[in-house]
Structure 1
Amino acid sequence: MSRLATSFVLGYHGCDAEVAAEIINQRAELIHSDRDFDWLGPGAYFWESDPVRAREWAEWKVGRGDYKEAAVVGAVIDLRNCLDLQNAEDRELMRAAHGSFAIVQKKSGLPMPVNKSAPGQPNADRILRYLDCAVFRHLHSIIDEQPDGPYRVEPFDTVRGMFTEGDALYEGCGFTARSHVQLAVRNNACILGLFYPPAT
């Protein structure tokens, strides 16, 4: 799956400047997000090859009052066993996981989660990805709970997805202003090095 692509990538993590210093100086590890609406399920999140987008996100968090000062931490990431949603085989795996999750929810009498737009933004991208996150968690739990044996699937170290987001770059085009590739690192051993990127 992941071995069909180059294994090493550069990722950029937007965060508060104080947190960035702790991470760079190895006094703290990257925080793994585990919210019910995370786009790629649980993990430490990075913008692949895009420090500018990481900074924009951190500055947005400053504007909301979540951070005092925006910063970006760069990372050399070995994708290892990657659930790569740019790959047809992995997309089919996600489709199967969704079908399995739907059966579990129905048997349990529970509704299916739904991806939603943020409050006050009814026509915006569905940035609250409750359904997608639940399917990722379901897939990871199936893999984690399988017995050892010759056909055992190894747990995924990273998850990678491409997202089209934002308005069209110009009238009639197929590109959007905030499209990006995002990574969720589930296994911190995949992070081979950390650095401050050049000023963005």
Structure 2
Amino acid sequence: MYKTRDNLIFGFHGCDETLCDKLVSGQITALNYSENSYDWLGKGMYFWENDSERALEWAENLKKCSQNKNQKIIKPAVLGAVICLGNCLDFLEQENLKKLKNHYNQVKDDFAKNGIELPQNTGGKDLYRRELDCLLINSLVAKQREECPEEAYDSVRGVFFEGSELYPTSGFREKDHIQISIINPNCIKAFFKLRKEDKKYKLV
């Protein structure tokens, strides 16, 4: 009874200013799903949770080094979203971590029986290309939808440790973040553009 997320959170997506303007104005109503074979949380619309600075940094890096033609950025911007995660496959919860581990063992056995090699996560210490994770999450989401459609996952959430350590022996790294992938577009309640804080006033 504690699993459905009815509260609202802020998510931030780094993109080109043109796309941001179109979504906020309603010219288009949804982001495209990311469907790369190496996506960290599987297929979905991606946001940084409560971290607009990280979203802008990502957009600025993408401007310098575009990953593909669909992600070309001329003027980096940050799209804000008000999100309700709904039935979330949250990998900050023990139950879901165990579920993913069990699913891995099942998929591994199925692949072995068919003589197919599982993909691997690659890309240095940060494992930027998460083909194994992506395959497992996508198949777990699909399995849930098929076996229990009334409890299909609306979103996926995970914490990621990325970048260099903040200081020697630190448990924190420079780009640590929580990322969310939205599967059900109805989770997104509104899009907005970031506004500058009025320093004359304080929130208490």
Q: TM-score, normalised by structure 2?
A: 0.87
Which stretch of structure 1 is more off in the superposition, 2-11 or 89-98?
2-11
Indicate the structure with greater strand content. Answer: 2
Equivalent in the alignment of 1:120: none
5+ residue gaps, structure 2, are 67-71, 198-204
- Work out whether 1:172 is the aligned partner of 2:178: no
- Shift of residue 59, structure 1, vs aligned partner: 0.5
Give distance in 1, aligned partners of 2:150 and 2:104.
18
Equivalent in the alignment of 1:138: 139
Equivalent in the alignment of 2:79: 73
Q: TM-score, normalised by structure 1?
A: 0.89
- The count of corresponding residues between Structure 1 and Structure 2 is 191
- Work out whether 1:154 is the aligned partner of 2:151: yes
Equivalent in the alignment of 2:49: 48
5+ residue gaps, structure 1, are 118-122
Q: 1:44 to 1:4 in 2, by over 3 A?
A: closer
- 1:2–1:83 Cα contact (<8 Å) kept: no
- Shift of residue 196, structure 1, vs aligned partner: 0.8
Equivalent in the alignment of 2:25: 25
Equivalent in the alignment of 1:98: 104
Counterpart AA for 1:114:
Q
- Shift of residue 5, structure 1, vs aligned partner: 6.4
What's the secondary structure of 1:7's corresponding residue? strand
What's the secondary structure of 2:134's corresponding residue? helix
Give distance in 2, aligned partners of 1:68 and 1:83.
34
Q: 1:153 to 1:106 in 2, by over 3 A?
A: farther
Give distance in 1, aligned partners of 2:190 and 2:65.
30
- 2:4–2:88 Cα contact (<8 Å) kept: no
Task: Flag as ranges the 4+ runs of structure 1 deviating above 6 A.
Answer: none
Q: 1:69 to 1:2 in 2, by over 3 A?
A: farther
